[in-house]
Structure 1
Amino acid sequence: MTLVLPGAWAQNASIELTELKAVRDNGSLMLNAQLALELGPALEDALVKGVALHFLAEAEVLRDRWYWTDAKLGSVTRYYRLAFQPLTRRWRLNVSNEPISSAGLAGSISQSFETLGEALGVIRRQSSWKLLDLQTLSPDARQRVRYNFKLDVSQLPRPFQIAAGGQSDWNLQVSKTLRLSPELVR
């Protein structure tokens, strides 16, 4: 007879892009993304033990060219740093447009949360993210948005970078390309 405890069926880390949508707003092309992001036990354990996790969201707007590589019209990047504060028992999330180092958090927006789920909710919903001005787009050309979201393992302490190499919990990444419709560009 096997005894199974409730926590024994812990789910592995997973990520899925459930929505990716480009919209017009006040002369700008905006991006909305919705992620189904779940941290596995290895990532949650690292957070509780004081290791901050860094996530990276990137979006590029590209124009197709038949004679050369596609033209990059614009790109934006958003950096997330998630950490657990053991003294206050709260979760801290920093969001920035520039890389976040543990020494310099000055250029980031910081928020504290009671639970890990609340902090992950902010990362999961990326809304009204300005990609570029609509004047940059050509109504006659084929254009697309390439979106990428990942756990940035290069920001982890060196021992974790080495250990994370072969473990699927540490390999969180999702990418998708969205073709811009002519109606959206005009």
Structure 2
Amino acid sequence: MLVWLFVAAAHADGIAVGKAQLRQAEDGYQLAASYDINLNYTVQQALSRGIPLYFVSEFSLTRSRWYWLDEEVFHGEQTIKFSYNVLTRQYRISRGALFQNFASFEDALNILARQSSLPFSSDLMKKDGNYTAAVRLRLDTAQLPKLLQVNALTGKDWNLDSEWYRWVARVPAANGEGKAE
């Protein structure tokens, strides 16, 4: 019975953060996350009928201050379009003008599950400072067709949100990997 409950929880619909980290990039640092994404039947059916899904990937880095409110060092947001072309039977992930086509749903979902922020300057972080990093991935229901927006307001099928995942981040070591605590 316990095994069945564990398997059911592992395959629950929605988005959850699998791993998050602060890593060194060419131009400074960037926040990166991998997500566990399980789209429910309703969302998969809409996608298979050619309705594009827009996911918003959000990143935030704040520094604690004892004398005032926390200071937001970096905030980034990216919109990712996940679509299916019924005629060519291909899935497509688009970020701005860049896109990539996939033959299978699983391959496209694996790419969608790995997100990184734009690099930000290393001058924004002090070596001895403690920072709070946060990541989130959500389905943007405001970009759905109007009829589906009504369904999204009244039903839980369209509520796909990983919620904010926060951790204490420190300046990454020379090998490029930051600690997520």
Q: Give how far 1:66 is off.
A: 2.7
1:17–1:34: 8 Å Cα contact kept in structure 2?
yes
* Percent of aligned positions that are identical: 24
1:13–1:168: 8 Å Cα contact kept in structure 2?
no
Letter in 2 for 1:163: N
Give the TM-score normalised by the residue count of structure 2.
Answer: 0.81
Q: How many residues align?
A: 163
Partner of residue 74, structure 2: 74
Root mean square deviation, CA, Å = 2.0
Partner of residue 157, structure 1: 145
Q: Structure 1 residues 89 and 19, CA, compared in 2 at 3 Å: closer, same or farther?
A: same
State the distance in 2 between where 1:138 and 1:59 align. Answer: 19
Q: Give how far 1:169 is off.
A: 2.3
Q: Give how far 1:130 is off.
A: 3.8
State the distance in 1 between where 2:27 and 2:101 align. Answer: 33
The answer to whether 1:114 aligns with 2:103 is: yes
Partner of residue 46, structure 2: 46
Partner of residue 6, structure 2: none
Q: Give how far 1:95 is off.
A: 1.3
Partner of residue 34, structure 1: 34
The answer to whether 1:181 aligns with 2:170 is: yes
Structure 1 segment 69-148 matched on structure 2, within 5 A: 69-96=69-96, 108-127=97-116, 129-148=117-136
| Structure 1 residues 50-109: Cα deviation after superposition (integer angstroms, max 9, x where no partner) | 21100000101111123332111112212111111111111121113xxxxxxxxxxx21
Q: Give how far 1:119 is off.
A: 0.9
State the distance in 1 between where 2:71 and 2:151 align. Answer: 38
Partner of residue 7, structure 2: none
State the distance in 2 between where 1:168 and 1:87 align. Answer: 30
